[in-house]
Structure 1
Amino acid sequence: MPNILIFCAHSDDEAIGMGGTIAKYVKEKKKIIKVVFTPGEKSHPHFQEKVVKKTRYKETDKASRFMGIKETKNLGLKDSKLRSEIDRPFVKKRVKELIMLYRPEKIYCPTKTDNHPTKDHQAVNQTVLEVVDSLRKHYPVYAYEVWNIFNEQLPHTYIDITGFMKTKLDYIKMFKSQWIYMFSLYMPAFIRAIYYGRKNNCKYAERFYKLR
């Protein structure tokens, strides 16, 4: 069974960026492993961080089971501070260990131009690429879009998700604690899927940048 390794800053990022592709891969019997850098404890500043963490962990587990994601690895780094957190020695070591353990067919991460306010998504992109570039074996790396505004001048590919769009939207809705944020991304993700579908001669598609 081929492994697909997905790195994300927060547990809902890949739902927006590649939820349809995940559903398609699961149907193709590929094993999905999701690596979450931070639980996103600062997403609700009026609640205790430990309460937010617990809620988001439970939410993520439920959503992963719904999608057929086989494993979710939580690195537990501080939310909104990944720029400094990734310099801690164990972070890149852990990312390397996971890549070496699963030897994925493909690796996915956010783009370097992702416009997330805290720049956490950019930090994940940087970390993953630095680790991949340090390895002897070549691993294909693709970037998915979340808070993206501008196009990147990079090779890209489209994946037809026509039969999986409803699953993607249902997956997004499962992150109920983040609904304010997810609602702001819901329609752009839907519109992008239509636009990319037209580019790819299908109804709905997701776009990925080829990084390595």
Structure 2
Amino acid sequence: IMKIEDLVDRVLVFAAHPDDEIIGCGGTLARLSEAGKAVYVATYTYGATAARSKEEQDKMKQRRKKETEVTDKILGVKERVILDKPSQGVTNDRQTYQETIRLIRYYKPDLILTHSKDTHKDHNAIKGIVPGAAYQAAEEIMEKELGKRWHTPNVWLFEIIRGFGEYSFCVDITNTFEKKVEAMKAQVSQQRTDFLSGLIQRITGRAVIRGADIGVKYAEAFKKIDTYPTPL
């Protein structure tokens, strides 16, 4: 039986907000890190829309940056880049698209993980950016400006709000699920009403369901998309 460790040496996650990689693939990232694989995360926004004033937004950004540092230690993230796009304002413009290509060419991942179609505006924007950027990162274009071309053989989408009806892979995260929950609990800026506890309940329920699909305690589901032909 092939395991994810057999496919991946370097994984790059593209996520809208600082906690999305935890919800969508935190257990998988921890599993890969424990296996000695390099885990990188690119976060497009700080998710600071809850703050009203500019001063409050700056404080929220600093708070969330500290939370990402805790998260990265828990999950074993080697390096994180925060692009500081406006929350609820991520767009598929030329600059953002080229920044995404540049990151793919810089980190040279074997696997890209990113958003699937969802109900959140930023999630959908990134779903529209990353697959095309992964495709064009492999083409012989703008190498002087954006780095030497790189073909990522695996591009997978993860679940955040909407669950998959059909999907390609389930990764067993039974041994790393507690790290996923621990990383989620570190998001103290989300401690408004019962929001955080509700999120933990949601990711637990989904992990149990996905685990049941493959006969393990906890799992995460992914949908593979083809961005570039794979030679056989």
How far 1:90 sits from its partner (Å)? Answer: 2.0
2:62 is the counterpart of 1:19: no
Taking the aligned partners of 1:43 and 1:57, their CA distance within structure 2 comes to 15
1:125 to 114, 124, 127: 127
1:66 to 68, 74, 77: 74
Taking the aligned partners of 1:3 and 1:131, their CA distance within structure 2 comes to 17
Residues 46 and 87, structure 2, Cα contact 8 Å, conserved in 1 = yes
1:58-137 aligned within 5 A: 58-83=66-91, 86-87=92-93, 89-112=94-117, 114-116=118-120, 119-134=121-136, 135-136=138-139, 137=151
SS of match in other structure, 1:82: coil
Taking the aligned partners of 1:44 and 1:138, their CA distance within structure 2 comes to 37
**Paired position in structure 1 for 2:4:** none
Any stretches of 5+ residues in structure 2 without a counterpart? 1-7, 140-150, 227-232
SS of match in other structure, 2:223: strand
Give the structure-2-normalised TM-score. Answer: 0.82
SS of match in other structure, 2:18: coil
**Paired position in structure 2 for 1:30:** 37
**Paired position in structure 1 for 2:174:** 162
Taking the aligned partners of 1:127 and 1:75, their CA distance within structure 2 comes to 14
How far 1:188 sits from its partner (Å)? Answer: 1.5
Letter in 2 for 1:57: K
Larger gyration radius, structure 1 or structure 2:
2
Between 1:182-191 and 1:2-11, the stretch displaced more is 182-191
Q: Give the superposed CA RMSD.
A: 1.7
2:56 is the counterpart of 1:48: yes
Taking the aligned partners of 1:152 and 1:182, their CA distance within structure 2 comes to 25
Taking the aligned partners of 1:24 and 1:2, their CA distance within structure 2 comes to 12
SS of match in other structure, 2:109: coil
SS of match in other structure, 2:49: helix
**Paired position in structure 2 for 1:6:** 13
Taking the aligned partners of 1:109 and 1:152, their CA distance within structure 2 comes to 17
Letter in 1 for 2:116: T
Any stretches of 5+ residues in structure 1 without a counterpart? none
How far 1:121 sits from its partner (Å)? Answer: 0.6
